[in-house]
Chain A
Amino acid sequence: MRALAILTCMLLSPGALANPGSTPTAIAEAASSRWRFAIALGYGLRSNPLIQSDDIPIIVDLDIAWFGDRFFFDNGDVGLTLSDNRMFTLDFVTRVNSERVFFGRTDTQFVSFAADGSTLATPVLLEVPDRDFAVEAGIELLTDGDWGELQLTAFRDVSATHGGYELFVDYAYRWRHDRWVIKPSLGVSYHSRSLNDYYWGVTADEAAESAGALPQYRLQAGINAHARLAAQYIVSKHWSFAAALEYERMNDDAAQSPIVAQRSVRGYFAGMSYRF
């Protein structure tokens, strides 16, 4: 809460706000559209690490964003630019933690074995515990140069859902050869104990409800690692072929959770993209 109070003071302080009219970003933006709207049609999948779950198909990928001098909307994220200069851009951002999506694609099944491998006296109906979307707010630092692009973020739950926070760093480098654009990136994210425990833990109540199929499981903080490879072939000013591969390795505690069946989350997508 104290961090939020400090952030609020920063936002309300006129001196803390950037003066976009004097920045290179604002000058460049004045000449271009503030809107970004694109649609990609193709096929992709994101694996679901949960037990008794279905992978998440991706057929349509929408990109809707608006970038003003100070405020911006970027596919559900709402931001306020605090500072923008030659070295870096600092934003205050609110977002929805989308890990809840995994929990929306689970099945209910009868199981005869407990998570520890022991046989249950009678089969029990096992349902993966439900989780909620969390609204998170935080700070995002963006910087770039000839060496690549760096994104650092710190987000905290402001919806009293998981009560935790996440620190995230991602480095990306873009190559272009004629019409081909290749962008690999990698990074790590630190998940606080509360965040990790809320999504991947099993509470005592949930363990009791599962009639022994799920043991109670509590998590500590952990670090996830991720890598990504995006490729694009530009066909025309509006059309391009786009493909992406993504891999995220979950932290040890999350990977060993009784509700987790796969240590990693893998994703891919390939399709045609139209940018308006």
Chain B
Amino acid sequence: MLRILILLGGLLLCCTEARAQSADVPRLNVTPLLCIVDKRAPTCDITFLVQWQSDTVGYYCLFNDFSEAPVRCWTERDSGELNDPREVSETFSYWITDEDTAKRLVAVAIDVLRLDSGDRRRQRRNRHVWDLL
């Protein structure tokens, strides 16, 4: 009986801790999330709208893969918004940190979809009766 109570107590503590952690994690939204490239347009010129929001007022920084320095930092804020113009050809991420800039609190990946692989065989047309795409 005592074992069960200890186990339940442990679970309760663990869940409370997890909930507290998730409440502290800022929410990060980036639009658009996809860049489409092909031979004629090998890069995307996009202005990304980056928005974040946290339940806790504090010091937050926005980073991306293009630079080791932050894109921007906010002091004593619980939300922020930024327009970030970029020329993109590879998948990359935005992420938010607090004072500990080595620790990513939340990250969002921007996918790059390549329509041309460079392998002509991938463009070959099949002529099977059951295949229409």
Identify the A interface with B (CB < 8 A): 24-25, 27-29, 32, 36, 40, 44, 46, 56, 58, 61, 63, 65, 67, 72, 74-77, 79, 81, 84, 88-89, 91, 96, 98-99, 101-102, 140, 142-144, 146, 149, 151, 168, 170, 172, 174, 176, 178-179, 181, 185, 230, 234, 236-237, 242, 244, 246, 267-269, 273
At the interface, is chain A mostly helix, strand, loop or mixed? strand
Which chain A residue shows the least CB distance to B35? A237
Q: How many B residues touch A, CB cutoff 8 Å?
A: 27
Least distance between B36 CB and chain A CB atoms (Å):
6
- Contact among A28, A144, A234, A268 with B132 in the assembled complex (CB-CB below 8 Å): A268
Bitwise, B41-67 to A at CB < 8 A (1) or not (0) is 100000000000000000000000000
Can you give 10 contacting A-B residue pairs, CB < 8 Å? A28-B118, A29-B119, A46-B130, A58-B130, A98-B128, A149-B123, A237-B34, A244-B133, A268-B132, A269-B132
With A179-B36, A236-B34, A237-B34 as known contacts, state yes or no: A91 contacts B130, CB within 8 Å.
no
Count A-B pairs with CB separation below 8 Å.
106
Quick check: B121 and A74 within 8 Å, CB to CB?
Answer: yes
CA A28 to CA B114, docked complex, whole Å: 11
A24 pairs with B118, CB closer than 8 A: yes
Contact status B34-A98, CB under 8 Å? no
B19 within 8 A of A: no
Q: Which B residues touch A101, using CB under 8 A?
A: 129-130
